[in-house]
Amino acid sequence: MNATLDQLCAIVGAGHVLTAPDDQRAYVVDWMKKYHGRALAVVRPGSTAEVAAVLRCCNEAGVAVIPQGGNTGMAGGATPDDSGRQVILSLTRMNKIRDLDPVGNTITVDAGCILAAVQMAANDAGRFFPLSLGAEGSCTIGGNLATNAGGVAVLRYGNARELALGLEVVLADGRIWDGLQALRKDNTGYDLRDLFIGSEGTLGVITAAVLKLHAAPVAQATAMMALPDRDAALALFTRLRGRVGDRLTAFEFMTRNCVDLVLKQVAGASLPFAAVPPAIVLAELSDTDAGTDLPALLEDLLAAAIEAGEATDAVIAQSGEQAKALWRIREGISEAQVRAGKTIKHDIALPIGQLAAFMDECERVVEAACPGLNFLVFGHLGDGNLHYNLQRAPHMDDEAFYALTGSLNALVHDLVHRYRGSISAEHGVGQLRRDELPRYKSGVALQMMLDLKRLFDPGNILNPGKLLQS
Ligand code: FAD
Ligand code: 2HG
Ligand code: ZN
């Protein structure tokens, strides 16, 4: 082990090989404080060549490597095990914007670039990079691609996969794949890029990416709507999307418990309604044509929705500040959950038309098995993606609640499976869902995934034990 550490120091410089527990603290625990590991070292390379040399060294020594970006993932994918023998490969020093091409409408970035920095670089060039999520101030492009992150703009622009054109990847044995093409068309065989996207650091380390840019929206309108019940959200979605199409760039849904929690836990959060309604939708319309009067259009739509009984009240933000305050309620939900004590999370995707039926049935099933739990249901309703999180009943202690994790997961996920949904819509599998995967994924699909893993990483050094039982 000492010889490996010496080699790693020689590759990246001793100052970028962190071995002291104090220096490692921020890297060995995940954002939710759910997963705690130990590491031989945190290694911080400054270039693709250094990543390649680190992987070559670890592969030869049989040392496992855990790629890490902003460490905001929600599936425990970036946390090492507790053996103290794994190396965390932190990409955050690799944070350069390599190129921005306004004609091709692309940006080429190092994998360790913070998402918000990429958004900013696009903005400075009069363009728009649409990937947007609550952790955008600290998550990295490499992590976004490795988890195929979603977020609040998938409805219009797609998830991380749909925003990537090319990748640079270092393979387990240190070979570098330069797939940094900025092509919209390339039918020269298997799509290697798409294999790495969503592979959660198990097939290779993403070191750079070419990303698609879009025209910057110059007109925007944001509204928060109070709903009479959660089922009304689907009618409202159909109304808005039917009328404005792709100009509906976000349609976020929150049930009453989530809003109550944010109002209690997040300083400065306030609701523009007199009372907390059973459910809320936060919708955003955007247009690249400054002449479009989006607030007027939204006002019309909301009046019709209230008339039809799909909403009971609505507020349209009158300024950027007001829009931010409305978003604060939505984006505060994760933080509020962490402050209020741990939850059992489910990040599920369902056919959109089945969401209301699913929520009714799932609540009945969970309540019958485990009375009194607090349901924190919210998410990207326009994508069919719910965060179906459960919080302990007031009479339970944490330990009794956690003992229910397996049975609650099975209840929720069996039902998701019956509705032909997915048990991980956007957060990935990591270690959180790894052991559940075989229950819901076909044997054929799992075998193909295992075969790919063995092909790309025969020594099983890349994020072992994540995503697949390997
Ligand atoms: P990390 O957490 O560091 O890593 C995540 C996974 O990717 C790990 O398996 C890791 O090994 C791997 N990885 C990281 N970098 C690389 C690389 N360069 N090459 C290969 N593998 C790599 N997610 C959503 O999808 N939608 C949301 O709306 C959303 N909202 C969030 C809100 C909050 C407040 C928080 C804390 C998280 C949220 N997330 C959301 C989850 C998380 O932010 C995203 O999954 C994000 O994309 C992870 O990026 P990261 O750089 O932090 O990755
Ligand atoms: C979001 O949409 C994130 O806010 C986090 O995906 C979800 O906290 C969660 O469960
Ligand atoms: Zn989400």
Give the mutation target among 334, 386, 426, 432 for probing the ligand 2 site: most ligand atoms within 8 A of CB: 334
The reported pLDDT for the residue numbered 2 is: 87
- Which phi and psi (to 5°) does residue 62 adopt? 70, 30
CB atoms < 10 A from the CB of 352, how many? 16
Q: How far apart are CA 49 and CA 94, in angstroms?
A: 11
- Cβ–ligand 1 contact at 247 (below 6 Å): no
Q: How far apart are CA 389 and CA 377, in angstroms?
A: 6
165, 131, 175, 19 alpha-carbon torsion, rounded to 10°: 170
Query: What domains sit in the chain, N to C, each tagged with a CATH number?
Result: 97-215 (3.30.465.10), 219-326 (3.30.70.2190), 343-427 (3.30.70.2740)
- How far is CA 144 from each of CA 93, 129, 427, rounded to the nearest angstrom? 16, 13, 10
Q: Which atom of ligand 1 is nearest to the CA of 201?
A: 21
C-alpha torsion sign, points 297, 301, 302, 303: positive
Q: What is the CA(266)–ligand 1 centre distance, in A?
A: 23
The reported pLDDT for the residue numbered 380 is: 98
Q: What is the DSSP string of 138-158?
A: T-BHHHHHHHT---TTHHHH-
C-alpha torsion sign, points 428, 430, 436, 438: positive
Give the mutation target among 115, 133, 148 for probing the ligand 2 site: most ligand atoms within 8 A of CB: 133
Give every CB contact of residue 359 below 8 A, 6+ residues apart in sequence: 230, 231, 377, 386
The reported pLDDT for the residue numbered 447 is: 97
Whose atoms come closest to the Cα of 426: which ligand? 1
pTM above 0.95, yes or no: yes
201, 204, 210, 211 alpha-carbon torsion, rounded to 10°: -20
- How far is CA 338 from each of CA 5, 37, 78, rounded to the nearest angstrom? 35, 19, 18
Q: How far apart are CA 439 and CA 199, in angstroms?
A: 19
Digit-coded pLDDT (tens) for 360-389:
999 999 999 999 999 999 999 999 999 999
Using 50, 70 and 90 to split pLDDT, how confident is the model at 342? confident
Q: How far apart are CA 375 and CA 227, in angstroms?
A: 17
Q: Which atom of ligand 2 is nearest to the CA of 330?
A: 4
CB atoms < 10 A from the CB of 210, how many? 23
Residue matched to tokens 């060549």: 49
- Cβ–ligand 2 contact at 56 (below 6 Å): no
Q: How far apart are CA 224 and CA 305, in angstroms?
A: 13
Whose atoms come closest to the Cα of 167: which ligand? 1
Whose atoms come closest to the Cα of 456: which ligand? 1
- Cβ–ligand 1 contact at 385 (below 6 Å): no
What angle in degrees, to the nearest 10, is found between the helix axes of 333-340 and 320-331?
40
Nearest CA to ligand 2 atom 2: 379
Nearest CA to ligand 1 atom 9: 77
Nearest CA to ligand 2 atom 6: 151
Mean pLDDT in residue range 294-300: 95
The residue ranges of DSSP E strands in 187-278, in sequence order, are: 205-212, 214-215, 219-227, 248-255
CA 415 from centroid of its chain's CA atoms: 23
Digit-coded pLDDT (tens) for 6-62:
999 999 999 999 999 999 999 999 999 999 999 999 999 999 999 999 999 999 999
CB 72 within 8 Å of CB 139:
yes
Digit-coded pLDDT (tens) for 303-318:
999 999 999 999 999 9
What rounded mean pLDDT belongs to the chain? 97
The reported pLDDT for the residue numbered 341 is: 85
- Cβ–ligand 1 contact at 109 (below 6 Å): no
- Which phi and psi (to 5°) does residue 164 adopt? -105, 135
Q: Which atom of ligand 2 is nearest to the CA of 389?
A: 10
- Cβ–ligand 1 contact at 389 (below 6 Å): no
377, 380, 384, 388 alpha-carbon torsion, rounded to 10°: -20
Cross-sheet strand order for the sheet of 205-212:
97-101, 106-110, 205-212, 164-170, 176-179
Q: Any bridge partners for residue 388, and if so which?
A: 377
Task: Write the burial class of residue 60 (CB in 10 Å: 0-12 exposed, 13-18 middle, 19+ buried).
Answer: middle
Q: How far apart are CA 141 and CA 172, in angstroms?
A: 20
Residue matched to tokens 């949904």: 421
Q: Which atom of ligand 2 is nearest to the CA of 380?
A: 2
- Indicate the pairing of strand 87-90 with strand 65-68: parallel
Give the mutation target among 133, 145, 381 for probing the ligand 1 site: most ligand atoms within 8 A of CB: 133
- Cβ–ligand 2 contact at 134 (below 6 Å): yes
Give the mutation target among 31, 34, 74, 380 for probing the ligand 2 site: most ligand atoms within 8 A of CB: 74
**One-letter amino acid identity for 214?**
H
Q: What is the CA(15)–ligand 2 centre distance, in A?
A: 35
Give the mutation target among 347, 374, 391 for probing the ligand 2 site: most ligand atoms within 8 A of CB: 347
Digit-coded pLDDT (tens) for 129-183:
999 999 999 999 999 999 999 999 999 999 999 999 999 999 999 999 999 999 9
- Cβ–ligand 2 contact at 459 (below 6 Å): no
Using 50, 70 and 90 to split pLDDT, how confident is the model at 470? confident
Q: What is the CA(350)–ligand 2 centre distance, in A?
A: 16
Q: How far apart are CA 466 and CA 200, in angstroms?
A: 8
Alpha helices in 153-231 (DSSP H): 154-157, 192-196
Using 50, 70 and 90 to split pLDDT, how confident is the model at 394? confident
Q: What is the CA(35)–ligand 3 centre distance, in A?
A: 19
**One-letter amino acid identity for 101?**
D
- Tokens read off for 16: 């970028």
**One-letter amino acid identity for 390?**
L
Digit-coded pLDDT (tens) for 271-290:
999 999 999 999 999 999 99
Give every CB contact of residue 403 below 8 A, 6+ residues apart in sequence: none
Digit-coded pLDDT (tens) for 203-236:
999 999 999 999 999 999 999 999 999 999 999 9
Residue 1 has pLDDT above 90, yes or no: no
